[in-house]
A and B are shown apart, each in its own frame.
Chain A
Amino acid sequence: MEQRPNQPIPTTVEDGLRDLRNRTLAKLDGDFARLIYLASTRDYNTGRYAHDGLSFRFTESVAERVLAEAHREVFVSLALSPLKILVTQLEQYIRSGCARPDELVAAWRELEPFRILPPEHDDPITVELFISNIRVALAIVGASWTEERRR
Chain B
Amino acid sequence: MSGALTLLAIGLLLIASLGFLLRRRGSEEEDSVSWFADENLAISSARFGDRCKEQLDRIFGCEDWDFIRSSTSRRVQELFLRERKGIALSWLSQLRRDARTGMHLHVARVRASEDLEPFAELRLAVDYYTFQAECGLIAAILFLGGPMALRGMVGRAESLSNSLRGILEAALKPEAFSQRTRIR
- Chain A: residues with CB nearer than 8 A to chain B? 76, 80, 82-84, 122-126, 128-129, 132-133, 135-136, 139-140, 143
Q: Are B84 and A125 neighbours in the complex by a CB distance under 8 Å? A: no
Q: Which residue in A82, A84, A124, A132 is a CB contact (below 8 Å) of B94? A: A124
Main secondary structure of the interface of B (DSSP, over half): helix
Q: Are A83 and B67 neighbours in the complex by a CB distance under 8 Å? A: yes
- Chain B: residues with CB nearer than 8 A to chain A? 44, 47-48, 51, 54-55, 58-59, 63-64, 67-68, 71-73, 75-76, 79-80, 83-84, 86-87, 90-91, 94
Q: Are B51 and A126 neighbours in the complex by a CB distance under 8 Å? A: yes
A80-B51, A124-B44, A135-B83 known; 12 new pairs, CB 8 Å cut-off, are A83-B64, A84-B64, A84-B67, A126-B55, A128-B90, A132-B83, A135-B79, A136-B68, A139-B72, A139-B79, A140-B71, A140-B76
- Residue pairs across A and B with Cβ atoms less than 8 A apart, 10 shown, are A80-B55, A83-B67, A84-B67, A125-B91, A128-B87, A128-B90, A129-B58, A132-B83, A140-B72, A143-B76
The answer to whether A123 and B87 touch (CB under 8 A), given A82-B63, A84-B67, A143-B73, is no
Q: Are A123 and B47 neighbours in the complex by a CB distance under 8 Å? A: yes
Q: Are B48 and A129 neighbours in the complex by a CB distance under 8 Å? A: no
Chain A residues whose C-beta falls within 8 Å of the C-beta of B72 in the assembled complex: 139-140, 143
Q: Which residue in B54, B73, B87 is a CB contact (below 8 Å) of A132? A: B87
Chain B residues whose C-beta falls within 8 Å of the C-beta of A124 in the assembled complex: 44, 90, 94
Chain A residues whose C-beta falls within 8 Å of the C-beta of B94 in the assembled complex: 124-125
Identify which of A76, A126, A128, A136 gathers the most chain B CB atoms within 10 Å of its CB.
A136
